[in-house]
């Protein structure tokens, strides 16, 4: 169980990125964090993964975090295999063992044939696969993915979503997945957490137990969950925009319409 207890993160300058976050993630659960830009999704992911320190509160239950970001951030002068091996080598493991484990991780993400390639020789989807292998090779007890498929085209995104689900089902790792797409969150997760900003907080926490693969447009229950969360999300975006724009500027009411979201591969 991963547990966040009354997490608060205030940045120098005074931005309260998160306030009073309480969250318990049972082992093996796939959780998505969604919410408007700036609501603290990445900050929460960083705190859970141990990449950042809370201003107050604590995180327990993450022994080893595997982290994947939107940009794979591979070392351009190292091969795919060398990139995957790098973190392990730092841990002091013998080189041969590092290599064997890294090759196995590359097989898991179907990238073994490209072990000797350099990052610039890979497509965006392949680079993200390499980044996932680099996270997996550390044998994490939880995977943290921050918009991992955000920069991919719809078809590649859809493919990697399927691969991620297969990987998750096989490894039974806890997953925390940040996305801008409600559709992606609902299609993939056991649980969707909707956040709001100023201060960053959780405003909805929905369990989704429909079998996968999920077809949002054909499933009335999932469609209803989507529309309800989208209405909350739209209201939140409108509220924040009203604060940001000059006072007196009238905003239209939030709209809820099927398929309104852009950039989703579902």
60 backbone dihedrals φ, ψ, rounded to 5°: -125, 155
Can you tell me which of 21, 41, 79, 148 binds ligand ATP, judged by CB under 6 A?
A: 41
Closest distance of CB 257 from ligand ATP, Å? 22
17 binds ligand ATP (CB under 6 A): yes
- Binding residues among 199-228 for ligand ATP as defined by CB under 6 A: 200
Task: Considering the complex, state which of residue 103 and residue 236 has its C-beta at the smaller distance from ligand ATP.
Answer: 236
The window from 7-15, 21-29, 53-61, 225-233 that contacts ligand ATP (CB under 6 A) reads 7-15
Name the β-bridge partners of 9: 18
Can you tell me which of 39, 49, 135, 186 binds ligand ATP, judged by CB under 6 A?
A: 39
42 binds ligand ATP (CB under 6 A): yes
Contacts of 162-166 with CB under 8 Å at 24 or more apart are 162/213, 163/109, 163/110, 163/129, 164/132, 164/188, 165/212, 165/213
Could you tell me the CA-to-CA distances from 102 to 112, 179, 207 in Å, in that order? 9, 27, 35
Closest distance of CB 255 from ligand ATP, Å? 20
47 binds ligand ATP (CB under 6 A): no
Task: Considering the complex, state which of residue 17 and residue 106 has its C-beta at the smaller distance from ligand ATP.
Answer: 17
What is the contact mask toward ligand ATP in residues 86 to 125, using x (rule: CB under 6 A)?
A: ----------------------------------------
Closest distance of CB 19 from ligand ATP, Å? 11
43 binds ligand ATP (CB under 6 A): yes
The window from 12-20, 97-105, 134-142, 248-256 that contacts ligand ATP (CB under 6 A) reads 12-20
Closest distance of CB 237 from ligand ATP, Å? 11
Task: Considering the complex, state which of residue 19 and residue 103 has its C-beta at the smaller distance from ligand ATP.
Answer: 19
Closest distance of CB 230 from ligand ATP, Å? 16
Q: What does the block give as tokens for 36?
A: 């408007």
Q: Binding residues for ligand ATP, per CB under 6 A? A: 11, 13, 15, 17, 35, 37-43, 200
């Amino acid at each position: 169980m991963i547990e966040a207890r009354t997490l608060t993160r205030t940045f120098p300058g005074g931005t309260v990125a998160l306030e009073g976050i309480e969250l318990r993630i049972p082992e093996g659960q796939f959780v998505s964090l969604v919410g408007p830009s700036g609501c603290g999704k990445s900050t929460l992911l960083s705190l859970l993964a141990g990449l950042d320190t809370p201003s107050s509160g604590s995180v327990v239950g993450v022994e080893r975090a595997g982290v994947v970001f939107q940009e794979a951030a591979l070392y351009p002068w190292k091969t795919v295999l060398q990139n995957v091996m790098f973190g392990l080598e730092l841990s002091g493991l013998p080189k041969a063992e590092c290599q064997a484990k890294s090759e196995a991780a590359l097989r898991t993400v179907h990238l073994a044939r490209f072990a000797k390639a350099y990052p610039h020789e890979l497509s965006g989807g392949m680079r993200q696969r390499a980044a996932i292998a680099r996270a997996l090779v550390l044998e994490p007890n939880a995977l943290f993915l921050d918009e991992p498929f955000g920069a991919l085209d719809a078809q590649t995104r859809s493919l990697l979503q399927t691969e991620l689900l297969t990987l998750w089902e096989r490894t039974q790792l806890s997953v925390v997945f940040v996305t801008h797409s409600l559709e992606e969150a609902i299609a993939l997760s056991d649980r969707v957490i909707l956040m709001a900003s100023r201060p960053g907080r959780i405003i909805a926490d929905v369990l989704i137990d429909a079998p996968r693969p999920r077809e949002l447009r054909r499933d009335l229950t999932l469609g209803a969950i989507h529309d309800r969360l989208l209405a909350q999300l739209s209201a939140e975006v409108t509220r924040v925009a009203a604060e940001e724009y000059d006072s007196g500027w009238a905003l239209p009411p939030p709209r809820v319409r099927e398929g309104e979201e852009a950039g989703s591969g579902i």
